[in-house]
Structures are given as structure tokens and as C-alpha cells.
Amino acid sequence: MKLRLMLWLLGWMLKRALRRKPAFRETLSEIRRLDWGIATEDLSIARHYLMSPQGIQAGAGLPVDLDLELRFDDEATAIRVLRKPTQQAFLDGMMAGKVRLVGDSGDLQKLQKLLKHL
């Protein structure tokens, strides 16, 4: 339940940042488009975010055509990493086999640039 709420709030915060923060809008304009999602490995909890300078859409589940997916071993791991989404936290999780990145690691760096502005 905590993870579902965190992911819903993340969508709300992304939309709010697009409306209120010029640095977020500028960074998103440079990136142009980033479609990404977060899920547990068993897909019991999954949410996706479709981001462009024109707007941000968030929804349940993971569509097939996402640029980036962050898959976590379980809900507790996801909460721990997402509370402090640093590059080191993701690397530590990947080395331990608890975090899996599906997609390009360059897209993860773009996402981290955007999340700095939240």
C-alpha cells in the first residue's frame, strides 16, 4: 500500500513541477519525451509516467513501449531506493540483484536530472 501511494504521489509531484518549476520545464524540453515506469518484479504494483513538455500522464500498469523500466525485487526494496533516488542507491541495488533496469542507462540519467527539480 505504501508503494502504491508513493507512486501516485510521484505522478502528482511531476505534474505540479511541470506547472510550477521553470527548471523542470526547461530540462523536460531538452529531453523532449521520456516514457518510463516503476514496478515490482511480479508486476503486482506497477505505474507508468508519460512525460513531454506538453504534459505528464500517469497510469497504473506498464505498457510495452516504455523507454525505461525500473523493476524492484519487492515492495520494501522499492520504498528504500525511491526515498533517496541517488545514482549510488540504484547501483547498489543493481549490484545486489534487487533492482533491474530495463532500457537504456542514459534514460536513467535523464530521469535523475528531472527528479532533482522536484
Name which of 116, 115, 84, 81 is nearest 10 in CA terms: 115
* pLDDT tens digits for range 17-67: 999 999 999 999 999 999 999 999 999 999 999 999 999 999 999 998 999
Sign of the dihedral defined by the CA atoms of residues 28, 6, 105, 50, in that order: negative
* pLDDT tens digits for range 60-84: 999 989 999 999 999 999 999 988 8
All structural domains of the chain, each given as residue ranges with its CATH number in brackets, are: 2-115 (3.30.1050.10)
- Whether the full predicted model's pTM is greater than 0.75, yes or no, is yes
Q: Are strands 34-40 and 68-72 parallel, antiparallel or unpaired?
A: parallel
